[in-house]
Every structure is written in C-alpha cells, then in structure tokens.
Structure 1
Amino acid sequence: MAAKKILMLVGDYVEDYEVMVPFQALQMVGHTVHAVCPDKSAGQSVRTAIHDFEGDQTYSEKPGHNFALNFDFAKVKAKDYDGLVVPGGRSPEYLRLNKKVLDLVKAFDKAGKPIAAVCHGAQLLAAAGILKGRECSAYPACAPEVKLAGGTYVEIAVDHAHIEGNLVSAPAWPAHPNWLAGFLLLLGTQITL
C-alpha cells in the first residue's frame, strides 16, 4: 500500500473525537494527515468541543482540548492530496463561509477523490454544492440542509456509515469504526497483519 496524503479541514469548536480520532488513526496506518484551519498556520491550534449523547433532545457540549494544526492553510492545494476529511462540531457552520474552503471541497469532489464527512460536516458539503442528487448521512439536525442542497438524507444508526461514490458519511463519532473503514476502503488502503 502506498501511503496517502490526507487533508483535514478544521476550525474552532470542531468536535473533539471527530478530529482527534481520525487524525491519529489515519497516521497509524501510514498516511500523512495535514490538519489545517483558515487564517492559521502550523503550530497554532483550534479549540475543540466534546459532544455527547446523554438523553437530552440534542447532544450536550463540553469544553474539549486544544488541537494543534500541523500545516499552513495558505499552502493547501487540493491537487497535492489523495483524500479529504471533514469533521463535525460547530466549525463547519462558519468554515462554509470561506470561499477557499468551498473551492477545496469542490476540487476534491470534481477530481473524484475520497471525501469523509461526519456529523455537521455535511453543512460544508451542502454549502459547496456537491450533494445534489447524492445520498449523505449526517447528524439528524443537518437533514434539512442536505435536502435543501438537493441531496437525499440517509437516516442510519449513529454507529453506522454510508458510502456513495467517493463520499463516506456518518451521523456522529460513534460511527468511527465504520466511517473510517469506509474511508480507508475508498482510499484503497489495505491493512495486513
């Protein structure tokens, strides 16, 4: 297996597990992961939020960690990467206001490169206009945005993932085993023991 180069788009109050776990797991299998944030560079950090499911009408939110970025957003070019990861949390709601972020998402999709989006990451995909005529899972509160973007919202268990074409999506971090396995499948990663 040739190692792949992955781009991860993050911002302040990205969901803690949805950035930390994929960042570490993708490196564990030998891939390079560049975690970037608009207007920030390597060595700077973003704050994370921990979302949990505790029986309320929606998830609860607690302060997370400071997550260190390891690459400069200003240097990112989609052509340099093999895949894209879009974690959820609150960051997608404002990252989608950045034209360069939207252009990056569009470029990955146009090139048919694997895209992994979890939870509120679908907000970024919807804003980039890449969901029309496609199926996408997301946190249930994002279903209206998937539909308004012309996509079909796929309602699945919180620990499941959905693959269509180059897109693997999931409702939230409990889906990590299936969501990350789906992304590795799209990347062509083979793990041998």
Structure 2
Amino acid sequence: MGFLSNGPSRDGALRWYAIHVPEGREDAVAGKCRQLLASDLVEDCFVPKYERYMKHEGAWRIVVHPMFSEYVFVATRDVRALSKALGQLSFPVSLVGRRNRSYAPLSSAVQTWLESALDDAHVLRASEGRIEGGVLRVERGPLRGCEGRVRKINRHKRMAYLRFDEGGDGDCVLQAALNVPVKN
C-alpha cells in the first residue's frame, strides 16, 4: 500500500497504524477499539474522512466519506502490544503492512500532513480556490499552501488529487474536495 512507511517506526514514537476492517464497519470498529483497547496503549483510534461534493436533484451538497475504505487508524507508541491486543478482540481486525518481524506505520510524510489538515473530528474539510494563468491558488481550506501536492484537479467533480511521493513500493494519492469556480 502506498500510504505505508517503508520501514518500522522508531521505538517510542507516536505513529499511526492501519487496521483492516469489513467495508462499512469502519466507524463501529473504531468505536469498539476505543472502548476495549487500553488508553495507555492507544492514544487515538479513528476513521479519517474527507468532505466530497455530490450533486443531488440539481443541487451541490457536501457529504463525508471515509478517506480509506475498509481501514481504521490507530495511534500508538507500541505496535507489538497493539498487535497482541487486537488479536484478543472478539471481532476480526488485522494490522496492515507486516514486514518481516514488524509492522509498517503510515508514512511519516502522509501522517504529518494529515495531522495538520484534519480537523478535531478527523475530517479533511472542503477547500476553495481558483486557477489563474494555469496556476492553482487555494484561497480557503486545508489545501491552502499545499498547492504543490495537487497533481490533478477534476473541476466537474470538484475534486483534487494529492500525491505524496514516497519513492517506495508505491506513492500515496489522496482525494480532497476542491471547488474551483473561477478559471482565468
């Protein structure tokens, strides 16, 4: 998976790990994990989401979707203890990214960017901008200042595609709502 780090995390560093869950059960599993896993082991358990523009009966509205379908993210400093605790749960979940004897966390570039871009509810809110002379200028929202990461814009769907070049097995591409009503 392109959003995972190429190697294990440093001991003691707070890193985000992905766990695979059945599709459509992301919020329920995240809630159960928050309830059942020790708070000294798991600092946060969440489903990162993003706002998306959808046209319904001729009107645009914003809806919230999971950023990574079938995945829940867990913030921990001890992935070995997390793996053991997940194995003791009564419902099936599994850590993603097993490499040799360790698990790969979310890539540090993606984690750092998401920490700054997501709000307290772990939602990437919609942004708004304009294209002037072929150059994107984001005026409002979490994509402001991140124009260099935008690799593609679909103005019809009001969507931006951001790339995080990790140089490993694959690059990470994230979707984000971006309304660009003006193009000069």
Q: Common fold, TM-score beyond 0.5?
A: no
Instruction: From the two aligned structures, give the one with the greater helix fraction.
Output: 1
Task: Please say which structure displays the higher CA radius of gyration.
Answer: 2
Structure 1 length as normaliser, TM-score? 0.28
Structure 2 length as normaliser, TM-score? 0.29
